[in-house]
Amino acid sequence: MRFSALPNPRAFIKAPTYTRRVFLTFLLIYLFLFLCARYKSHRDPTSAFFQPKKGYLTAYSDIRFNQAQDFIEQVNNQTNSHAAWRSSDRPNLCVGVATVARKGARYFKSAVGSILEGLSEAERADLHLILFVAHTDPTQHPAYREPWLREVADEVLLYDPSTVNITRIHELESDEHKLYAREKALFDYTYLLKACHAVNAPYIVMLEDDVLAIDGWYHRTQSAIADTERQMKAKTESKWLYLRLFYTEQFLGWNSEEWPSYLFFSLLIDIVLLSALLTLKSRYPHHLPPDTIFLATALCTPLLIGLFFAAGRVTMLPIPAGVHEMPKFGCCSQAFVFPRSRIPDLIQLYESKKVGYVDMLTEEYADAHGEIRWALTPSIVQHMGRKSSKNFDMNQPKLSGGVTELWNFAFETNEPDLLRVEHEGILHS
């Protein structure tokens, strides 16, 4: 049996009616799948159909922002009785948030509000909240003079002149040093880690001051920690480095270093299909013309494979909900859970480096020591900071070059009513 060269348009017109019908049917199905992929993938930054104007639209974060702001305003107006709730003597979590004033933007208040809004008294008692105003002159931060700061925090942390070099920190607050803030930001992170370590809570949650946490973040975090510990026992491993509560999907696409495996499986699919069609041809020689086989393997299958990749990895191969290992492509340092037992290792790392970005240093350390890193899907934290505490302008997302917008696209699909029902169900279970 011989196959002719790729048919030209005139040859196709003269092709058997059966082959033309197959091709036209395929075109209709392919068009439908193309439209479905285009609709489904508009929030997937790994997709060719990604639409930044829609993908970066705030949906749930707008709702959560308003809930958080209302909570803080009620505290300021002394109409929120929950503000009097405090940590117990033996909390399970220490939650630390370091904040620096930003020009033209305020995220800290909504970040803290989102941490506390919706918590039950028992949940609030199980976390120790440390809010660190990272200024040598704390009055430079607008929140420092506002009543809510001390009303909601278990501890408002400031620099202790007896333990830190205030002169050096003051130098690092200059505009020149603030450009990248690699030294001061690392110092502040370490300082806050030490304060949380002293609380003696078994787990420490480190959040940046420009995030929003979902309604129910606490019970999902506790569940994720328990799941992490169960998986560690199943692996017969004794220690893990962190649990990530935020990541961006931008780095989870079709990675260029994996192209050999993509090519292999693409060819395998085409070969398996060709083998199947040739087998059918041998059994039913009058029902499957050679042109149809050629069309299916040389045109239809490659087009479908191309559409699969164009739809994006996040769309076609989404990470299942729950806790999973993420040793690569996790970004960034917006929300980490650390076991208290690992804090001395991290403090030693950061103090030895003195300069650098927390996420990069942590990943380098983890890679060098074979550390186990976990992530929670879906993300329960969103990064809202488009005005950096550094001198970067992040008003507009930059998808290529410059500063990349750190955004979890799935976060915006949360349904507030469903989250509230889930949270209330946990509280009453």
Residue 174 neighbours by CB distance under 10 Å:
10
108-116 and 60-76 helices, crossing angle to 10°: 90
| Enclosing H/E stretch for 362 | helix 358-369
Residue at 373 is within a domain: yes
Same domain, 179 and 242: yes
The single-letter DSSP state of residue 157 is E
Pairing between β-strand 127-133 and β-strand 155-157 as defined by DSSP bridges: parallel
The parent domain of residue 258 ranges over 17-54+254-311
Instruction: Output 255 or 425, whichever has higher pLDDT.
Output: 425
For residues 350-376, average pLDDT = 96
Alpha-carbon distance of 388 to 282, in angstroms, equals: 67
| Enclosing H/E stretch for 127 | strand 127-133
| C-alpha pair distances (Å), 52 with each of 41, 49, 399, 400 | 11, 10, 8, 12
Residue at 9 is within a domain: no
Same domain, 215 and 108: yes
Residue at 301 is within a domain: yes
Q: Which of 276, 311, 346 is the last residue of a domain?
A: 311
Q: How confident is the model at residue 16 (pLDDT cuts 50, 70, 90)?
A: low
Same domain, 341 and 416: yes
Residue at 10 is within a domain: no
Share of the chain above pLDDT 90, in %: 75
pTM for the complete prediction?
A: 0.87
Query: Do 178 and 386 meet the contact criterion of CB atoms below 8 Å apart?
Result: no
Q: What integer pLDDT is reported at residue 27 of this predicted model? A: 95
pLDDT digits (tens, 9 = 90+) for 285-317: 777 888 888 889 999 999 999 999 999 999 999
Same domain, 403 and 354: yes
Number of domains present in the structure of the chain:
2
Q: What integer pLDDT is reported at residue 47 of this predicted model? A: 96
Same domain, 355 and 305: no
Across the chain, what does the average pLDDT equal? 90
Residue at 4 is within a domain: no
For residues 379-407, average pLDDT = 58
pLDDT digits (tens, 9 = 90+) for 128-184: 999 999 999 999 999 999 999 999 999 999 999 999 999 999 999 887 766 567 899
Same domain, 173 and 274: no
Q: What integer pLDDT is reported at residue 289 of this predicted model? A: 83
Residue at 195 is within a domain: yes
Q: What integer pLDDT is reported at residue 4 of this predicted model? A: 45
Q: What integer pLDDT is reported at residue 256 of this predicted model? A: 83
Residue at 292 is within a domain: yes
Span of 3-17, 105-119, 174-188, 398-412 with lowest mean pLDDT: 3-17
Q: Which CATH number goes with the domain that contains 183?
A: 3.90.550.10
Residue at 302 is within a domain: yes
Same domain, 67 and 165: yes
Q: What integer pLDDT is reported at residue 180 of this predicted model? A: 61
